[in-house]
Structure 1
Amino acid sequence: MTVVSVSMPEALVERLDAFAEEHGYTGRSEVLREASRSLLGEFEDKRLEDRELMAVVTVVFEYETTNVEERMMKLRHEYESLVASNFHSHVGEHRCMELFVLEGELEDIATFVGKIRATKDTLSVDYSVMPVDELAALDAEQ
Structure 2
Amino acid sequence: MRVERISFSTPPALLKRFDESLRMLGYEDRSKALQVAMSNFVTEYAWRKEGGKPGAGAILLTYNHESHGVQDALTEIQHRFRSVVNSTTHIHLDESRCLEIISVKGKIERIQALAKLIMKKRGVTQLKLSTVTM
Mark yes or no: TM-score above 0.5: yes
Shift of 1:112: 0.4
Tell me what 1:85 maps to.
87
Q: Check whether the contact 2:47–2:131 (CA below 8 A) recurs between aligned residues.
A: no
Equivalent-residue separation in structure 2 for 1:125 and 1:112 (angstroms): 11
Aligned-residue sequence identity (percent) comes to: 20
- Describe the superposition over 1:15-37 as per-residue Cα deviations: whole angstroms up to 9, x where unpaired: xxxxxxxxxxxxxxxxxxxxxxx
SS where residue 69 of structure 2 aligns? helix
Tell me whether 1:107 sits opposite 2:103 in the alignment. no
Q: Which amino acid aligns with 1:130?
A: V
Shift of 1:49: 3.9
- Describe the superposition over 1:69-127 as per-residue Cα deviations: whole angstroms up to 9, x where unpaired: 11110011111111011111111222111111110112101110110111112111111
Q: Check whether the contact 1:72–1:116 (CA below 8 A) recurs between aligned residues.
A: yes
Equivalent-residue separation in structure 1 for 2:118 and 2:96 (angstroms): 20
Tell me what 1:58 maps to.
60
Q: Check whether the contact 1:51–1:131 (CA below 8 A) recurs between aligned residues.
A: yes
- In structure 1, stretches of 5+ residues that fail to align are 1-41, 133-142
RMSD, aligned CA = 1.9
Given the two structures, how large is their TM-score scaled by the length of structure 1? 0.57
Equivalent-residue separation in structure 2 for 1:82 and 1:104 (angstroms): 5
Q: Check whether the contact 1:43–1:106 (CA below 8 A) recurs between aligned residues.
A: no
Larger-gyration structure (1/2): 2
- In structure 2, stretches of 5+ residues that fail to align are 1-44
Alignment size in residue pairs: 90
Compared CA separation, residues 51 and 65, structure 1 to 2 (3 A): same
Given the two structures, how large is their TM-score scaled by the length of structure 2? 0.60
